[in-house]
Structure 1
Amino acid sequence: MPAGSSPKRERQYEHIRKSAQERGESAERAKEIAARTVNKERARSGESKTSSRTSTRDPKSASQRGGERSHSGAQGPTRDQLYEEAKKRNIEGRSSMSKQELRNALDRGR
């Protein structure tokens, strides 16, 4: 948590971190999830010095959204995410494939 965070945000961070760990996330990933969520809430409520456009204009708060867009945004998983999945499945030629080619190769392998 950033220095000078309110007690409310500290409690929120701890709650989210513990919940993520209970769901089976690693300690590091749980910390990341909690920090990102709390920072977004801080931006939405005007508690941070800087904020992204999506932090302040998104109609749903991070807690309401609940990971709704994780790995499934408008364009779906990133190329890097697709590449890592192709690597796990040992798909040949993956390093020179585009995002769409990776998507197609993974679909064929299912």
Structure 2
Amino acid sequence: MTTSRLPALVLIASLLATPALAENCRTDGGPYPDLPKGQVTVAKAHFIRGSCADDPGAAGCKLKAYLLQDDLVALGPRNGKLQCVGYLGRGGGYTEGWIPAAAVQPY
């Protein structure tokens, strides 16, 4: 392998290792009791790309995954108009991602 291809391979490997939904949103990877909690306050809160912090409504920012009203979440950091949340699903899967900050309130 030539050294000119090495940086590209490192970049590709790092992108594959990072979940697309989270985009640097971290709530410690699990539902820990010491994290602040929040509750979704809108009927449906779609996850938003982390790169859309300044304009969550822009084209291509909304993801298919969403939370429903009254879902309880762990709160991570805030980024502009987005709130990092972690959600423990019924099947035990834990999802981290950004939702509009206006769609969640402290619980």
TM range (shorter): under 0.3
User: Hey, which of these two has a bigger chunk of strand by percent?
Assistant: 2
Larger gyration radius, structure 1 or structure 2? 1
Instruction: Name which structure has the greater RCO, CA cutoff 8 Å, separation 6+.
Output: 2
* TM-score normalised by length of structure 1: 0.24
